[in-house]
Amino acid sequence: MKKKFTVFFIMAVFVLLATLAFAEGGDAATINYGFWSIIPPLLAIILAFITKEVILSLLLGVFSGALINVFATSSSGFFMKLIESYTKTFEYPVNALADGWHAGIIIFTLTIGGMVGVVAKMGGTRAIANALAKKAKTARSAQVATALMGVVIFFDDYANTLIVGPTMRPLTDKLRVSREKLSYIVDSTAAPVATMAAISTWIGYELGLIGDAFKSIGVEVNPYSVFFKSIPYRMYGLFALVMVFLVGFMLRDFGPMYEAEKRARLTGKVLADDAEPMLSTDFESELDNSNIPLKISNALVPILTLIIFAFIGLWYSGGGLENPFTWEGIRDAFGNSDASAALIWASALASIVAVAMAVSQGIMTLRKALEAWVEGAKSLVITTIILILAWSIGSIAIDLGTAEYLVQVISSALPGWSIPVLVFVISAIVAFATGTSWGTMAIMLPLAVPLAAAYTGNELTSLVYATLGAVLTGATFGDHCSPISDTTIMSSMASSADHIDHVKTQLPYSVTAALIAAVVGYVPVGLGLPVWISLILGITSLWVVLKFYGKSTDPKDLKA
């Protein structure tokens, strides 16, 4: 405890001293925060890793950003600046909640939690786990089945995370797969899949950025065609997906993940002794001694309702009625959809269906069913707090120009042949520091595409496609690894895993896929090697790493 307090105190004093650099105050529009712009996300990330106190770490990161901003812009006295910094600290969470998209995600998350609470009380999740267990009887098949479900639910990363985690958790727990591994699989089949799906909540955003980037250099393109041609160059996303299946099929792990899997296989402890899971599953334990008939339909019907009506909601909210039942109409509708609204509609309807099923079967009274819904939603309160603070850190990064500073510092050493790999690195760093892939894409694409096009005379060569893919997949990688990313947080929550344990165990795997993408992917492609050769080399490299560096987590080998 003393060590944690000392760390927080030292870091707080450091940030306070940093603000003295702006003690005179100035015009907010002209201030260049420079190095100090990376302090808030850096402080939050470091403290989260050291102390495992995620909420307090994020809150101190927000406070540090408010300090820097106020000391740079306010002309008040020192103590008044401290007071202003304190009050401004809480403006960021309020503004984050005031954002319609963020509010929608919070409501969707709580509603999903409520539905899961009802389904669990009905025995639905246990029933579907028992059914899957007849097919998936080993840790290997459980991991592969979870990864396959993650790929199937491709249309939205949030929906993917919040459906796959709770659905597969009873099965993976039963077959002694660690929560760290479950959250890794869930996280690695969410954004990496959604960002490359032809129909998803990401597609419209990406197409808009692609079109604007080429328009800025006077090149007319079909954004959808460019999108498809960039997919082979999304090397991190492709390798991350391949690695998930290889890890599950080969039953080989390394780093902290190996220790987590070894613990789960030998002791049955799917969580570390000191873990603090982000989602309470206490409400599920009541089923152990209950006489509730376990029916797959009690889970399958609400989940299918969620998935089907999420599709319909996305199509409808994007103007699907204007040009229905055509490929172009469906594509445009998903691209223009209001994902948060559609997911709220679907999750609310799924909750209604779950409650109705519980009451109609006599499993619960209406009052008990509603209490189960509230209990499930309450289990996600901590998650919503962390999400709000993570969004606050992102807002601070925008105010201080964190991304622009990182781009300026790193891109100053950009040689021509290595544009794809360095753009990939820059995008990853920016996304990791800010916790947002979409924000990184918006910042990097207008810079990277003209840079690559300048070397090709505005011709759409492999260098341009590789640079475009490097931005999109580099942003995904940084966001995928960052402990302050909303999708990383939601993966921990959906899997009921300790958030920092999830980040620590996933990071070596993500970095491995990223290094391989950089070394055998973007460097050779930048030098002119055909992309299909790089893809083969990358997949082979992943297999070699797991085969010769990974250790077997098969129970037979662990006991031997």
**3-state secondary structure labels for all residues of 389-437:** HHHHHHHHHHHHCHHHHHHHHHHCCCCHHHHHHHHHHHHHHHHHHHCCH
The pLDDT, as a whole number, for residue 528 is: 86
pLDDT tens digits along 243-260: 999 999 999 999 999 999
Element containing residue 559 per DSSP (H, E): helix 555-559
The pLDDT, as a whole number, for residue 511 is: 93
Helices in 78-202 by DSSP H: which ranges? Answer: 78-89, 91-98, 100-121, 124-135, 139-152, 157-174, 179-188, 191-194
Does 286 have pLDDT greater than 50?
no
The pLDDT, as a whole number, for residue 219 is: 79
Across the chain, mean pLDDT equals 80
The pLDDT, as a whole number, for residue 247 is: 95
25 pLDDT band, cuts 50/70/90, is low
> How far is the CA of 241 from the CAs of 32, 57, 259, 265, 449, in angstroms?
39, 31, 22, 24, 26
Give the chain's radius of gyration (CA, Å). 24
Does 473 have pLDDT greater than 70?
yes
Element containing residue 313 per DSSP (H, E): helix 297-317
Mean per-residue pLDDT, 522-537: 92
- Nearest Cα to Cα of residue 506 among 248, 187, 280: 187
283 pLDDT band, cuts 50/70/90, is very low
Question: Which tokens is 81 given?
Answer: 């600046």
The pLDDT, as a whole number, for residue 69 is: 84
Q: For Cα atoms 114, 115, 120, give the angle at the middle one, nearest 5 degrees.
A: 100
- Sign (positive or negative) of CA dihedral 305, 307, 311, 313: positive
Does 520 have pLDDT greater than 90?
yes
- Nearest Cα to Cα of residue 434 among 161, 98, 156, 42: 42
Higher pLDDT, 143 or 150: 143
pLDDT tens digits along 487-513: 888 888 888 899 889 999 999 999 999
Residues 6+ apart with CB under 8 A from 154: 160, 193, 194, 197, 200
- Nearest Cα to Cα of residue 500 among 3, 55, 9: 55
Does 326 have pLDDT greater than 50?
yes
Residues 6+ apart with CB under 8 A from 316: 333, 342
What does the buried/exposed string (b/e) look like for 180-215 if buried means 16 or more CB atoms within 10 Å of the residue's CB? bbbbbbbbbbbbbbbbbbebbbbbbbbbebbbebbe
pLDDT tens digits along 144-203: 989 988 887 776 677 678 778 888 888 899 889 999 999 999 999 988 888 887 666 576
Mean per-residue pLDDT, 74-97: 84
Does 15 have pLDDT greater than 90?
no
Does 129 have pLDDT greater than 70?
no
- Indicate the angle between helix axes 179-188 and 486-494, nearest 10 degrees: 140
Q: Are 143 and 252 in contact (CB under 8 A)?
A: no
- Phi and psi of 435, rounded to 5°? 75, 20
143 pLDDT band, cuts 50/70/90, is very high
The pLDDT, as a whole number, for residue 288 is: 46
pLDDT tens digits along 373-421: 888 888 667 767 877 887 787 788 778 877 677 666 655 556 667 788 9
Element containing residue 551 per DSSP (H, E): strand 551-552
434 pLDDT band, cuts 50/70/90, is confident
The pLDDT, as a whole number, for residue 560 is: 52
The number of helix segments (H) and strand segments (E) in the chain equals: 30, 2
385-390-392-398 Cα dihedral, nearest 10 degrees: -170
Q: Is 462 left (phi over 0), alpha (psi -120 to 50) or beta?
A: alpha
Does 363 have pLDDT greater than 90?
no
The pLDDT, as a whole number, for residue 287 is: 44
pLDDT tens digits along 435-470: 777 777 777 777 777 777 777 776 778 888 999 999
Concatenating the DSSP letter of every residue in 467-483 gives: HHHHHHHHHHHHHHH-T
Does 279 have pLDDT greater than 90?
no
